[in-house]
Structure 1
Amino acid sequence: MEEEHEYRKLVESLVLNNKIQYSDIPFHLRKENLALFYYAVRVSRDSLQDAAQFVSVMEQLLLDIDEIEKQSNVDVRLRRRALDAILGVENIFTGVVEFDEFIRQQKRARPWLFAN
């Protein structure tokens, strides 16, 4: 019950008020509630159109994927969600320095992200 209340409070704060960063959400909540990731992406894409915030959210998700995969096998579903999120904002953020640099870094660090 306490965790559900914490979850709702974090989602509300993130989506409605944009008071916290995605990385401020505790790992166990990020891991168990992928909707938080989508809310964070939507805020950066639709509300703020902020490439730096999007990059921050994506970097945290990719670190989370790394952490989850250290503990188990490759999570194809999460990897696909990460790629879908990037492709979903490509036409908005391409040409923005933070986004372009993020893509260059990820192509070197995580070739699986863009491999089809």
Structure 2
Amino acid sequence: MDNIISLASVLIFTVLILYLSHLFTKSLGNRMGMKRSGSCMQMLDRLPLGQDKAVAIIRTGSRYYLIGIASSQITLLAELSEEEVPKETAAPSAFGAESYENFKNVIKKYTDKHRKDV
């Protein structure tokens, strides 16, 4: 009988620890998402390209920039006009599947324009 009580208490304790760790990581993730913007700058969208590599659209004041991010440097790829930035991206949003489609369109416009210049 003592073995059953001991086993049940260990099981309840384990489930409680798992639930509390889930709540903690969820709240930590929410707080980290809110720190993506400052008072003057804001990252509107980000597209990972590989390990430690990404491209992003940032807004500083009324200007928009397309930047390349690597582990050792950040490179300005282009300055975007307000018309080139999709309306859904111009407002801060969670990084969902629909924002990746909009971001994909911006990258496609930039690469098409760049290919014409060459």
Calculate the TM-score normalised by the size of structure 1: 0.28
More strand by share: 2
Q: Which of 1 and 2 has greater Rg? A: 2
Asked which structure has the greater RCO (Cα within 8 Å, sep 6+), the reply is 1
